[in-house]
């Protein structure tokens, strides 16, 4: 860890967009802490990228509590950037007329409650960021209310709710100089997006790394795609 550099923590970063974000931020010289729920996959990926690893399952509050404690012991009492990236797509092609309480609860637990709890437990560290901290929630076009259609209801609803979480946190943290924004990365070629998706992981991670490093600190409470604000 270089004390002159900012530190970023990325959840669910052992593969996909989170992994690419870790790579890009490391290339830009930041201290990167790659987090994953599976300790073996996470440690292996972190070692490959030359970054630190922190085990955390965002669907389990005990795991988040333990991770925040471990972070303080290993990396100190300050965090500059929290990227809530971990996500699941549990819908199994069930429509809003067929979906189950279980699928909706699963999606909400990881995609919506996870970012709230991660923010709460890492907030004391974010408050110690010298130049103002940044929280970036990885949302989705499928969570955009203005273009909502009847597809993937559990996932889509959980991402709309994550957008609401973004607005709530942005309002609650504005006076602490902590910015909170949501990102729609576009349709990206990952295990989740599939191989027919439009964008490479490099393109998908671009707005995330922009928000983490270059966007004005005053930008908060917005939904971003391709480095521009979009409608909710």
Ligand X SMILES: NC(=O)c1ccc[n+]([C@@H]2O[C@H](COP(=O)([O-])OP(=O)(O)OC[C@H]3O[C@@H](n4cnc5c(N)ncnc54)[C@H](OP(=O)(O)O)[C@@H]3O)[C@@H](O)[C@H]2O)c1
Residues that are catalytic: 155
Binding mask 195-214 for ligand X (x = CB under 6 A): --x-----------------
Is 140 near ligand X (CB under 6 A)?
yes
Q: Give 33's strand partners.
A: 9, 52
Is 116 near ligand X (CB under 6 A)?
no
Q: Tell me which of 22, 34, 82, 86 binds ligand X, using CB under 6 A.
A: 86
- Stretches 56-64, 69-77, 166-174, 218-226: which one binds ligand X (CB under 6 A)? 56-64
Q: Tell me which of 90, 115, 153, 193 binds ligand X, using CB under 6 A.
A: 193
Binding mask 142-181 for ligand X (x = CB under 6 A): ----------------------------------------
Q: Are strands 179-183 and 52-55 parallel, antiparallel or unpaired?
A: unpaired
Is 185 near ligand X (CB under 6 A)?
yes
Q: Using CB atoms, what's the residue nearest to ligand X?
A: 16
Is 68 near ligand X (CB under 6 A)?
no
Binding mask 9-28 for ligand X (x = CB under 6 A): --xx-xxxxx----------
Decide if 32 contacts 85 (C-beta within 8 A). Answer: no
- Closer residue to ligand X in complex, CB, 29/194: 194
- C-alpha to C-alpha distance for 152 and 225, rounded to whole angstroms: 20
Question: Which of 125, 130, 214, 45 minimizes the C-alpha distance to 34?
Answer: 45
Q: Tell me which of 106, 110, 113, 156 binds ligand X, using CB under 6 A.
A: 110
Is 90 near ligand X (CB under 6 A)?
no
- Closer residue to ligand X in complex, CB, 110/129: 110
Q: Tell me which of 188, 205, 211, 212 binds ligand X, using CB under 6 A.
A: 188
- Find the angle CA(217)-CA(222)-CA(228) to the nearest 5 degrees: 85
Which positions touch ligand X (CB under 6 A)? 11-12, 14-18, 36-38, 41, 57-59, 85-88, 110, 138, 140, 185, 187-188, 190-193, 197
């Amino acid at each position: 860890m270089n004390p002159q550099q900012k530190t970023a923590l990325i959840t669910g970063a052992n593969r996909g967009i989170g992994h690419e974000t870790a790579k890009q931020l490391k290339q830009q010289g930041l201290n990167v802490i790659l987090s994953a729920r599976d300790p073996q996959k996470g440690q292996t990926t972190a070692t490959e990228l030359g970054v630190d690893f922190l085990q955390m399952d965002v669907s389990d509050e005990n795991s988040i509590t333990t991770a925040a404690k471990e972070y303080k012991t290993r990396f100190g009492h300050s965090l500059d950037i929290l990227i809530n990236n971990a996500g699941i797509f549990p819908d199994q092609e069930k429509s809003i007329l067929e979906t189950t309480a279980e699928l909706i609860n699963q999606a909400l637990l990881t995609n919506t409650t996870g970012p709230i709890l991660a923010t709460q437990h890492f907030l004391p560290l974010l408050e110690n960021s010298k130049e103002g901290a940044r929280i970036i929630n990885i949302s989705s076009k499928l969570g955009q209310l203005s273009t909502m259609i009847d597809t993937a209801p559990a996932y889509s609803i959980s991402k709309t709710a994550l957008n609401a979480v973004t607005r709530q946190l942005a309002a609650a943290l504005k006076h602490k100089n902590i910015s909170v924004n949501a990102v729609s990365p576009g349709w990206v070629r990952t295990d989740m997006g599939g191989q027919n998706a439009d964008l490479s992981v490099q393109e998908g991670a671009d707005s995330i790394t922009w928000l983490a490093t270059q966007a004005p600190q005053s930008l908060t409470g917005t939904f971003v795609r391709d480095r521009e604000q979009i409608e909710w």
